[in-house]
Amino acid sequence: MNFKHLSSVMSCMVFLAFLAGCQRPGQMRGSDGDNYKAETSPSYYSRGGPKGASQRVEQMGQPRKRVMILNFWNDTPVPMTDLGAFAADELKRGLFLTQRMVLPTDLKLEHGTEDFVQGEKVKVSQLIREGRKLGVAVLGIGRISKVVFRQRGDEVGIFRQKQSLAAVDVEMKLFDVSGGKEIFAGAKSGDAAVNAVVTFDAKATESADYRAELVKSASRNAVAQLVPEVVRAVEKLAWEGRVAKVAGSKVYINSGRASGLIGGDILRVMGPGDDIYDPTNSAYLGRTQGQLKGTLEVIDFIGSDGAVAEIHTGGNFQEGDSVQLY
């Protein structure tokens, strides 16, 4: 092969390589049949537009939900009439210390857990109506299902070592008042023990008051385990308040600064939904989403936890309508 012919072959090879370099790689073809891969994040073109930043901001500084815990039901033969109220108060104390929800102290409770239980079933529809009447977002009920008290120790001697033990089993459920559904069910056990040195007269460690105090300590330890689980269940719900009063262009809300609302917050007002029942057995299934009535803007605060809002859009707002962050 002469030099001239070799030069021609090499020129053709360079030209073919140049043409190949001008073609798009297979993964970068466009809408005309090519598989063009855009550099822009595909989420930008997803339905609804970009959501990452807005979702993060929405989750920050969410108002705290109003939660009411009814007195627990002492469903045991142990004659301690105040044990149910004690367990509920201990749970509310633990929840209050988290500062993650509002536990109203000015609401008058006329019913306890046992008023909403029939056999092994909860009267959900009646419970939800009670929650709406109280104006809370979440209603909790509880049951003390078992109480055990035992003592053991030396039976002889002037100074005897004696150990007293108590154990308590508790159960509880949480209900979303707006949705009319159960959002949490849990059961915990707690125990407590006391070691004492007694003489011939051991009446102090065998009295009803001594036993009651030890049982209460076990109850406190049981409900304390429920606190983090209750917090997680409540915080999964979107915040919701209620219209307390409508006066002209002013609308008063049952949540305010203590709940975490701030001036300028825009609220949407939803009318009441419909309660749905199973036609075969009349069991309560839940509540439908109400219709959007309009929007409000928070302009002021009243009382310990109330807000004043002015109407932006819509109308025909009524007491009991739900309000949500826009």
Q: What is the mean pLDDT of the chain?
A: 81
Q: Which of 105-119, 130-144, 220-234 has the highest mean pLDDT?
A: 220-234
* pTM greater than the 0.75 cutoff: no
Predicted confidence at residue 156, as pLDDT, reads 56
Is residue 294 over pLDDT 60? Answer: yes
Is residue 59 over pLDDT 70? Answer: no
Is residue 182 over pLDDT 80? Answer: yes
Is residue 35 over pLDDT 80? Answer: no
Q: Which residue has the higher pLDDT, 215 or 3?
A: 215
Is residue 78 over pLDDT 80? Answer: yes
Task: Report residue 42's pLDDT band, with 50, 70 and 90 as the boundaries.
Answer: very low
Q: In this structure, what token pair is assigned to residue 139?
A: 């209603």
Is residue 43 over pLDDT 50? Answer: no
Q: All domains of the chain, ordered by start, with CATH?
A: 67-235 (3.40.50), 241-325 (2.40.10.410)
Mean pLDDT (whole number) for 14-25: 45
Mean pLDDT (whole number) for 16-26: 44
CB 297 within 8 A of CB 310: yes
